[in-house]
Structure 1
Amino acid sequence: MTTATLEEKNTRTGAFAFIGALAMLGMGYAAVPLYDLFCRVTGFGGTTQKATESDADIAARLAQSGATRTMSIRFDASTARDVPWSFSPEQVTDTVQIGQRDLAFYTARNDSGVPITGTATFNVEPEQTGKYFNKIQCFCFTEQTLQPGESIRMPVLYYVDPAILDDENAKDVEQITLSYTFHKATNVAENPTP
Structure 2
Amino acid sequence: MTEKGLSSNKKTALIVSGMVVGMIGMSFAAVPAYRAFCSVTGWNGTTQRAAAGADRTLERKVTVRFDGSVSQGLDWKFHPEQVSQTMHIGETSLAFFEAVNLSDKPITGRASFNVSPAKAGLYFKKIECFCFTEQTLQPGETVSMPVTYFVDPALAEDGNLDDVQTITLAYTFFPWEDDSADDGAGDGGSAAE
Q: TM-score, with normalisation over the residues of structure 1?
A: 0.89
The residue aligned with 1:171 is 162
Equivalent position amino acid for 2:21 in 1: L
Shift of 1:171: 2.3
Aligned pairs (5 A) from 1:43-62: 43-53=42-52, 56=53, 59=54, 61-62=55-56
Match of 1:192 in 2: none
Give the AA of the match of 1:111: L
Number of residue-to-residue matches in the alignment: 180
Deviation at 1:188, TM superposition (A): 4.5
Give the counterpart letter for 1:89 in structure 2: P
Give the distance between the partners of 2:133 and 2:49, measured in 1 at CA.
13
Aligned-residue CA RMSD in angstroms?
1.4
The percent identity for this pair of structures is 49
Read off the aligned partner of 1:44 and give its amino acid letter. W
Task: List, as ranges, runs of 4+ consecutive aligned residues in structure 1 with deviation greater than 6 Å.
Answer: none
Distance in 2 (CA, whole Å) between partners of 1:95 and 1:179 is 16
Q: 1:79 — aligned with what?
A: 70
Would you say 1:143 and 2:131 are equivalent positions?
Answer: no
Which letter does structure 1 place at the counterpart of 2:74? V
**What letter matches 1:5 in structure 2?**
K
Where relative contact order (Cα < 8 A, 6+ residues apart) is larger, the structure is: 2
Greater CA radius of gyration, 1 or 2?
1
TM-score for both structures, normalised by structure 2: 0.89
Match of 2:106 among 104, 110, 115: 115
Q: Which runs of 5+ in 1 are unaligned?
A: 190-194
- Cα deviation for residue 186 of structure 1 reads 4.0
What runs of 5+ residues in structure 2 fail to find an aligned partner?
181-193
